[in-house]
Structure 1
Amino acid sequence: MLARSSVVQGRPVTLLVAEDMSLARQEIWETGLLSLAVFAPLLALALLLQGLAVSRALAPLRRVRDELAEVGAGHLARIQGPVPREVRPLVDEVNRLLVLLEQRVRQSRTAVGNLAHALKTPLAVLLQAGEAPGVPETLREAVRAQAGAIHERIDRELRRARLAGPGGHGAGAHFNPGAELPALVRMLKSVHHEKALGIEVQAPDRRLPFDREDMLELLGNLADNACKWAHQRVRIELSERPVRGERPVLAIRVSDDGPGCSDDALAKLPARGVRLDESRSGHGLGLTIVRDIAELLGGTLAFGRSQELGGLEVRVDLPFPGDASRHGPG
């Protein structure tokens, strides 16, 4: 509304001009609604198309990420998939470093093997010299003990060199406890036949992303140690255990109904080379091989008393490599 005041012939006059704006407001409101109805779907469609374009552009990078996880898990040796031109130099450099690492590991393993085999001949000569007539018995025993220690160290370093190698690609990269452990149990019962042991096994019957030879060596040493000390029962348990915020672990528990260990002895067990009973054959509870395998696989080794069987319980937790905690039957 417009108002204007004036004086006409000596009289004050006020002129008012008014218009009904409701119709204009209605048209403005309808125009706004129409614009919203048109442009909102267009904006949503534009955002969707942009998201699809970004997702498609990043798809090769996701494949690179997945292949890197496979390399870390030991299922692939190189990043093989197609990648964008901008990322190709980075992928080529990663592949070059993987090749260099594999070459250096292979060279180290070869050098360790050559050194170990080169020492075996002088060691055999030394043992023969110690057995020669006229050698005092004390010296003979000392030569045997030291030569045995050297031979044990050579074998251990050869095992470490094998474990430090590439994680294995192909059949050796998987371990099916349900298929492998029955044969191990039969062998242990044959070796310890005089005890008539009952060996219980609880393990998944599917492929696990761990090297078969490593797992058989680890479980074989744990189970053999348990059989040596058990009276009648040995239990072998393998299970997958989730860990909050981290990769799941393969929980290995091997226990027996033997005499177990005192608290003082349990405190000493983590030290390398510890044996609780020197009269027992083998390495007793040194568990050096088990410790080496657990450390090289990023796992942990712990000792305690079995709540059910009453003897020693050895606990090994091995993290699943990469994102490979789920595998089909082997």
Structure 2
Amino acid sequence: MHARQLLAASLGLIAFLSLTGYALDHAFQETARVELQDRLQNYVKAYYRGMEFARGGALLMPDRAPDPRFERPGSGLYAGLVSRDMRWESASSLGRTLPLPKTLKLNEMRLDGPLPYNDGNGGTQKVYRLSHTTIWETEAGDMPLTFSVYEDTAQFESQLSVFRRALWGYLGMAAVLLLLVQMLVLRWSLQPLRNLKRDLDRVQGGHHPSLSGQHPPELEPITDSINALIDSERSHLEQSRNTLSDLAHSLKTPLAVLRARLDSGAGVDDLRDEVSAQVQRMNEIVSYQLSRAARSGHALFSAPIEVEPRAEEIVASLEKVYSGKGVVCEFDVDAQARFHGELGDLQELIGNLLENAFKWAARRVLLTVKVEPTQGSRRPGLLLAVEDDGPGIAAENVERLLQRGVRGDERVQGHGIGLAIVQDIVRAYRGELRVERSTELGGARFVVRIPPVI
């Protein structure tokens, strides 16, 4: 990741500096060209101020040129004039074949170039040419003329070359400096991810049970999700171990009974009846334990399940089973209530609570489902309550009824062994199960609260 980000940032930086260099180079060329035009234009105006035509039409140029280079052959600065059948060139153009002044519109001034010319030694050089066309008033009448000033490109190119060397040199140093800064910034900004990777390596190696909490706020959702996943997997593993342990322990008694009957030399009929009874008992034990093991419990990324339609299906079935009692189930269910977990867990949870309520109710059962408020990115929790108008549960029996580790078949008194399954499911979803007196119906009230999770 560090190499990819550094490469991407470096490419972006190089592209940016290249565009910046190109823009500055282009701007400098335009500025230098404007400066060149202004300088040559001043030479033209200086010639105009000292130039005149004699009475006979002869052209009289100024005694002193605007720049001494106009008088020195091959100096790189030249001047020329074209008017009707007359042509004049400065002394500096001796031996050189310069491009003729270009006739333009009246009072038009234009800079052209670079233009090639013969330097007199068989070589080819280039010049910039500024031409201006005007009307000169003489005694013989108006005389149209075009005046041009030339300058070798050497000075312009030398100036441009110096600027480019400085520009790209400084941009190159800036690029190196910024790349070093980027490397340091990326290394500093990615340090939390490297710390997270080291934490994961320690967890995978078995040196730590979970990720540490020393991470930036931006990474907390990730670390919380990973820790929740680790806890969920450990919970599932522990549940599987407990189920196997419970199954092995539960099968000891019927197996011991069968061994004792075999050793006692019982008759065939008695032995057959005993085997049938113990096999039935073992089948019930295995079915119960498998149903517990099949429940997945706390699920991190499960899809939400609507509670109301599932509850209606269960109530419809129970009303048929207990039709002789005439029990009516009332609903107070939030339509937005969702269960984030396995469908089987939801059915077991609601089904066992409602079945107990139908079993002990006189006439009325009330099912209440509400959404638990949440903050941030957490999934909302769930509050589920089942009440009946039966005899209720004595306060001194509640603690024993929900005591951890009490075997399911020891809970026949009260509301039945279904509460063992309910308690296991609630514990798997890190929830809370309370048993209290119903203030509205007068019987028992079972309250299940499943907290908001990641």
Compared CA separation, residues 115 and 297, structure 1 to 2 (3 A):
closer
2: CA distance, partners of 1:166 / 1:257: 32
1: CA distance, partners of 2:441 / 2:381: 24
Moved over 4 A (4+): 90-132, 150-153, 241-244, 246-249
Which is richer in strand?
A: 2
Contact 1:269 1:286 (C-alpha < 8 Å) held by counterparts: no
Task: State the 1:147 CA deviation.
Answer: 6.0
Q: Tell me if 1:198 matches 2:335.
A: no
Q: Which runs of 5+ in 2 are unaligned?
A: 1-188, 204-225
Contact 1:116 1:154 (C-alpha < 8 Å) held by counterparts: no
| Corresponding residue for residue 228 of structure 1 | 359
Contact 2:372 2:451 (C-alpha < 8 Å) held by counterparts: no
Q: Tell me if 1:135 matches 2:271.
A: yes
2: CA distance, partners of 1:312 / 1:107: 34
Task: State the 1:292 CA deviation.
Answer: 0.7
Amino acid paired to 1:227 = F
Task: State the 1:221 CA deviation.
Answer: 0.6
Query: What SS does structure 1 have at the residue aligned with 2:191?
Result: coil
| Corresponding residue for residue 86 of structure 1 | 191
1: CA distance, partners of 2:241 / 2:394: 42
Given candidates 397, 405, 413, the residue that maps to 1:276 is: 413
Query: What SS does structure 2 have at the residue aligned with 1:194?
Result: coil
Compared CA separation, residues 299 and 187, structure 1 to 2 (3 A):
same
Q: Tell me if 1:144 matches 2:277.
A: yes
Q: How many residues align?
A: 227
Task: State the 1:222 CA deviation.
Answer: 0.4
Cα deviation, 1:28-61, whole Å, max 9, x if unaligned, reads: xxxxxxxxxxxxxxxxxxxxxxxxxxxxxxxxxx
Task: State the 1:113 CA deviation.
Answer: 8.8
Query: What SS does structure 1 have at the residue aligned with 2:349?
Result: helix
Task: State the 1:259 CA deviation.
Answer: 1.7
Amino acid paired to 1:144 = A
Task: State the 1:198 CA deviation.
Answer: 0.7
Identity value in percent:
24
| Corresponding residue for residue 302 of structure 1 | 434
Normalised by the length of structure 1, the TM-score is 0.53
Task: State the 1:153 CA deviation.
Answer: 4.7
2: CA distance, partners of 1:263 / 1:105: 31
Normalised by the length of structure 2, the TM-score is 0.40
Q: Tell me if 1:291 matches 2:423.
A: yes
2: CA distance, partners of 1:239 / 1:101: 27
Structure with greater Cα Rg: 2
Task: State the 1:239 CA deviation.
Answer: 1.5
Query: What SS does structure 1 have at the residue aligned with 2:391?
Result: coil
Contact 1:156 1:289 (C-alpha < 8 Å) held by counterparts: no
Greater RCO, 1 or 2 (C-alpha within 8 Å, sep 6+): 1
| Corresponding residue for residue 213 of structure 1 | 344
Compared CA separation, residues 197 and 209, structure 1 to 2 (3 A):
closer
1: CA distance, partners of 2:235 / 2:427: 17
Task: State the 1:230 CA deviation.
Answer: 1.0
Query: What SS does structure 2 have at the residue aligned with 1:276?
Result: coil
